[in-house]
Structure 1
Amino acid sequence: MEFYMKLPRSKKEFAIFIGIVSILSVNMIAPLITCPEAGFYLSVWQDALTVLPFIWMSVIAAVLLTYVPAEKLTLMIVSKKDSFRAQIVVNTLCTVLLMSILLTIIGSRIGTRSITLEPIRLFFYKWPRNFAISLFVELCIAQPAARLAILKLHLRKEAGKEE
């Protein structure tokens, strides 16, 4: 029942779900990654805000690129008999793993506004922190908020059918 009520059922609902998750994630993760590197200054935060639309577009692209591989990886780890929470946690873990690999490189290049080998050279230094921050935000804030929104949408649709 939780799968039916808390997850998207159509392409429109999927777009709403991804929109909520990506907007919340980008607005939290980018500053949480940038500020420890560049300093906790208003100018650093403002600079991070100026590149957020470009990072958001790359996040959407990364979601679309990693969706199927993350689903396949999830199915290798969990069984259809596992609980909703187990499947969601593993799917989030797989999705964040794949996306954080891509976005550690892409996000650095967007943030610095330059295409250099620096993000690749520093990958194993930066990726674990980026992965941990992203996983926390996804598991504890962004995805629960999106699932709640989808649940409320479905409850509203169900209430409309009964009348």
Structure 2
Amino acid sequence: MDFYMKLPRNKKEFTLFMMVISIISVNIIAPLITCFEVGFRMEVWADAIKIIPFIWVAVIALVLITYKPAGWMTGKIIEKDDSFAAHIVVNILCNVLLMSIFLTVIGTWIGSRQVSMEPIVLFFYKWPRNFAISFAVEALIAQPIARLVMLKLHQLEDARLDADKA
């Protein structure tokens, strides 16, 4: 029942789900990682906010690119009859793993407004922190909110269908 009520049922709902998750994630993760990189000061936060639209476009593109590989990875780890929570946690883990690998490099390029070898050279130093921040935000904030939005949307749709039948 959780799969049916808390996850998207069609492409329109998938788009809404992805928008909720990506907007929340980008608005928390990008400034947080930037502040860890440069320092927790108001001007650093303000600069990070300015690049969020560009990071968001990269995130959307990467979600669409990594969606199927992350689903494949999830399927290799999880059994069909495992719990909803197990499916969700492993799926978040696989998605964040792939996204954080790419965004550790691409996000640095966007944030610094230059393409350089620095994020590649420092990858194994920066990636674990970026992964941990991203996983925490996804698992504890963004995805639960997006699933709540789906649940409420589905409850409204089901109530409307029941009212139409009566």
Q: Scaled by the length of structure 2, what TM-score is found? A: 0.97
- SS of aligned partner of 1:9: coil
Deviations along 1:79-131, one digit per CA (max 9) or x if unpaired, are: 00000000000000000000000000000000000000001000000000000
What does 1:120-135 correspond to in 2, within 5 Å? 120-135=120-135
Pairwise CA RMSD: 0.4
Deviation at 1:31, TM superposition (A): 1.1
2:86 matched residue in structure 1:
86
1:63 matched residue in structure 2:
63
Identity among equivalent pairs (%): 62
1:77 matched residue in structure 2:
77
Distance in 1 between residues matched to 2:40 and 2:100, nearest whole Å: 23
Distance in 2 between residues matched to 1:76 and 1:5, nearest whole Å: 24
1:108 equivalent to 2:75? Answer: no
Distance in 1 between residues matched to 2:40 and 2:152, nearest whole Å: 37
Distance in 2 between residues matched to 1:93 and 1:21, nearest whole Å: 14
2:143 matched residue in structure 1:
143
Deviation at 1:5, TM superposition (A): 0.3
> Unpaired runs of 5+ in structure 1?
none
Deviations along 1:29-78, one digit per CA (max 9) or x if unpaired, are: 01110112111111100100110000000000110010000000000000
1:8 equivalent to 2:42? Answer: no
Q: How many residues align?
A: 163
1:45 matched residue in structure 2:
45
Q: Which amino acid aligns with 1:96?
A: V
Distance in 2 between residues matched to 1:17 and 1:139, nearest whole Å: 14
1:36 matched residue in structure 2:
36
